[in-house]
Amino acid sequence: MSSSSMPLSPLRLSLLFLLFTFHTTTTTAQGLINTTCKTCSQNNPNIKFNFCTTSLQSSPASQCAGDLHTLGTISIKLIQSNVTDTNCFIKQLIKNKKLVNPFIQRCLEDCFDLYSDAIPSVEQAMENYDLERFVDANVELSSVMDAATTCEDGFKEKRGVVSPLMKRNGDTFQLSAMALSIMGMLQTGSQY
């Protein structure tokens, strides 16, 4: 039986409609992520386009993100989970004393303090972002960015030492830069 001879039942019609709506929504969201990440990476060379799109897409909420403000929320939530996870990871590393020498141990302790302070900073930033207090959110997210940089720089003070937190610090730095960039677009309305 050819499909053309099948009547379009109301059920089939609504299924088609659902499929179409889903397709359109995800395509639009993808387009928004693409445009946003393109602008972010143009405005700040520290932000890699692929990192930006992959990160934003990893959030299930991004499939429905119809506006820039939502993408900003997603990026701050990503920082939140990054920072919390890294803080816990550092704690584990510090506990495992035999794996690290005294220099690294000291660096890790500094990083632990930095990330412990970063957790409430991101929380505050989320609150201020929701209230569109972008100036305050900017200060708080900049401090998170600084925390990642300061943590990473600590390991560089001794030759031959490889930071066990390099990727994590880099991710937190880049995600914060993304959130700051998105806030800049929201403030100036210059996203497109």
Ligand X SMILES: *[C@@H]1O[C@H](CO)[C@@H](O)[C@H](O)[C@H]1NC(C)=O
133: closest CA among 186, 75, 190?
Answer: 186
The CB-of-42 to ligand X minimum distance in angstroms stands at 14
CB 151 within 8 A of CB 165: yes
Fill in the amino acid letter for 91: K
Compute the least distance from the CB of residue 78 to ligand X, in Å. 5
Which CB, 175 or 183, lies closer to ligand X?
Answer: 175
DSSP label at residue 60: G
Supply the minimum distance, in Å, between the C-beta of residue 4 and ligand X: 30
CB proximity list for 23: less than 8 A, separation 6 or greater: none
Question: Which of 27/187 has CB closer to ligand X?
Answer: 27
Minimum CB distance to ligand X smaller for 30 or for 43 = 30
Q: Is 102 helix (H, G, I), strand (E, B) or coil?
A: helix
Closest CB to ligand X among residues 47, 168? 168
CB of 167 to ligand X, least distance (A): 8
Residue nearest to ligand X (CB): 55
> What's the Cα-to-Cα distance from 172 to each of 48, 122, 132, 145, 166, rounded to whole Å?
13, 11, 22, 7, 10
Applying CB under 6 A, which residues contact ligand X? 27, 30-31, 34, 55, 58, 78, 81-82, 85-86, 168, 171, 175
